[in-house]
Structure 1
């Protein structure tokens, strides 16, 4: 039977330049933006390293990608067709998906541009190391935590290469299962209003610690949160020195709502600036309630601004290409030439990526937390303040403030929570 016989018209999808059939493979359509960012990062990697230097040998001038948990193969298709990858290793642990995966890749790619295997990801990584076959970008789109494979992926990554990680265990990273976070991330996560950013920083911190144990450094390229999925891209380089200022703890005061970073040397001396005394009913004396502490986690910049600029230019170029193309529709909804589409143009998708990257650049170096607008309203006993109006007020007061990609109903700023509440309350009275 021909492999094409497995493809019913209703099953075929399109995302970007990739046309594929999901079949029995797991596929999260809502994670498309994460795949878009992966494509843009792959383009940025080629442009920002010796890969772009034509004087290098053919061996050094190729962009080689390893997709460790490929599923239906949408990522290999997009990395080659949109990012211009020269070669992709598509590994899928489920042997039962071989026919579907082969069909998807065979339809669009020449056979010398990819290979398919069905092994445990750890076996693949060790095989790469044993053969000294290192990859420029490794994509690990795992379920739960990437901890079971993260450390071994470092054996297969090329120095200067990008490692793309996924975490979906929001219960652990949000502080609802602190023992689970301790087991998985070697960090104790507590609940507070900025837990979605905490999930990203725990994942970066895990990568940084695992890399440091091998004399390497994992530097964030970008970190993206969407719909309970954390995706983090880090660059693996030789470690010059370990900066503990970027790897520490985050405190949160339930009394006043203020966050603060806590270095290792001050763990036993944490206190909030509010100094609010609570009455201990067991001894009938006022005591200072200390803030809760989460960590250790990554406290440094969330994204690399220079790489984001290159990614944005790549999105602009892809948008222009899609405008000039006669086949500019994609994704899900209506039928076009036997594929499910929505009438949603690729050019519009890349425009949205540009807007997202602008927000990421603005938030990259702000403190490692955000303030939900609802929390500001609750503490000020007012309605939820308009985001843009509050941002304008903070900037006028001399603070840095921006929206955050993590939540449309939150802001990132270096202003204290008390200042945000005060400005929002004053605005309601005028």
Structure 2
């Protein structure tokens, strides 16, 4: 943005704010939109909403949580104290003094301070650069049981298998390259949260997860329930025939591709359960319709709802074309044909030119060829 644009007021949702020298990514609005809906549902269900915006930047999230989700109290924390005048200006013009607090602490120190004072929050938003894993454990000390934890990862190189040593260092998991790495990024992120929560005797349930082309974001609910082994494991991919499969740790020494017998590459451990909670997404969609939000957000929510019960991977159409040595059929036509053949199939928000399906890759290719 130009210097004039950074000082001009910007409108997003019901919030009007300036950005000056603060970081602001307009393309991330979709992640903020979904968070506003989820937070509003929480407020309606629980009767209150207290939020920590741990890395507030210019304060747009704090403003929107208050103005649109009905947050009673927002703690806007920004590590750079030079941004205090900007954050104060943005929040003061739309929020009463008794509805927010501004601080400039390191996020981990903030979370520990809340825990020491038994000051627990309904939603903690961690919009970090790189991976949020250094903040997850401490955030769990500051969140209420049943509360929402919103995580951000911008480290796509690590989660896409280009730096497997780094993925072990950061996520405690080996990330390998394959055609569904955008989803892998979400599952490594959620899996890290699930493991760290389990270490404290908690569990997590994803509310929604999105990849916007650059950034992985996942909102999870922290609950008290037994560890679910079936939701945490490994994803195997066969470079020989292109087939995916899941595995638990007991199966690691016995893995081979059922389709061609080759030894697959294995990523994980990671989250293998649903990426989205269908009942929560349905409520968010109803609220978006009630608020008369634009059609694209309502279409996205329907896509997330369709994705929720599907396997933890997808097949890009170019991959089908390459392996089948054929022209690629239109996505929606292929989805219709797969469904007609008895295979549960849907589009995916992770890749506009891909399908999520319970069918094998070989079945997808055969059906695609029948359409040509």
TM range (shorter): over 0.9
The SS at the match of 1:296 is: strand
1:96 correspondence with 2:69 = no
Alpha-carbon distance between aligned partners in 2 of 1:8 and 1:189, rounded to the nearest angstrom? 40
Alpha-carbon distance between aligned partners in 2 of 1:112 and 1:7, rounded to the nearest angstrom? 32
Question: 1:376 is matched with which residue?
Answer: 320
Alpha-carbon distance between aligned partners in 2 of 1:7 and 1:101, rounded to the nearest angstrom? 18
Rg larger for: 1
User: Is the contact between residue 7 and residue 18 of structure 2 (CA under 8 Å) also seen in structure 1?
Assistant: no
The Cα of 1:45 is off from its aligned counterpart by: 1.2
Question: 2:330 is matched with which residue?
Answer: 386
The Cα of 1:317 is off from its aligned counterpart by: 1.8
1:190 correspondence with 2:163 = no
Question: 2:231 is matched with which residue?
Answer: 246
Question: 1:263 is matched with which residue?
Answer: 248
1:408 maps to which of 352, 360, 365: 352
The SS at the match of 2:151 is: strand
The Cα of 1:8 is off from its aligned counterpart by: 7.9
The Cα of 1:11 is off from its aligned counterpart by: 2.6
2:302 maps to which of 349, 353, 358: 358
Alpha-carbon distance between aligned partners in 1 of 2:307 and 2:60, rounded to the nearest angstrom? 30
TM-score (normalised: structure 2): 0.97
CA shift digits 1:346-392 (9 cap, x unpaired): x42xx221111100010111100000011011111111221011001
Runs (4+) of structure 1 exceeding 3 A deviation are 6-10
1:225 correspondence with 2:222 = no
Structure 2 unaligned segments of length 5 or more: list them: none
Structure 1 unaligned segments of length 5 or more: list them: 1-5, 53-61, 277-288, 320-346
Question: 1:421 is matched with which residue?
Answer: 365
1:12 maps to which of 5, 9, 12: 9
RMSD: 1.3
Alignment of 1:158-237 (within 5 A): 158-237=144-223
Distance 1:424 1:213, change over 3 A: same
The SS at the match of 1:154 is: helix
Alpha-carbon distance between aligned partners in 1 of 2:129 and 2:77, rounded to the nearest angstrom? 15
1:398 correspondence with 2:342 = yes
TM-score (normalised: structure 1): 0.84
Question: 1:138 is matched with which residue?
Answer: 124
1:105 correspondence with 2:91 = yes
Alpha-carbon distance between aligned partners in 1 of 2:221 and 2:13, rounded to the nearest angstrom? 25
The Cα of 1:228 is off from its aligned counterpart by: 1.8
CA shift digits 1:274-321 (9 cap, x unpaired): 225xxxxxxxxxxxx3000000000011100000011111111221xx
Alpha-carbon distance between aligned partners in 2 of 1:47 and 1:251, rounded to the nearest angstrom? 41
Alpha-carbon distance between aligned partners in 2 of 1:293 and 1:96, rounded to the nearest angstrom? 45
1:72 correspondence with 2:52 = no
Alpha-carbon distance between aligned partners in 2 of 1:206 and 1:46, rounded to the nearest angstrom? 27
Alpha-carbon distance between aligned partners in 2 of 1:23 and 1:10, rounded to the nearest angstrom? 5
Distance 1:108 1:8, change over 3 A: farther
Alpha-carbon distance between aligned partners in 2 of 1:403 and 1:15, rounded to the nearest angstrom? 28
The Cα of 1:47 is off from its aligned counterpart by: 2.8
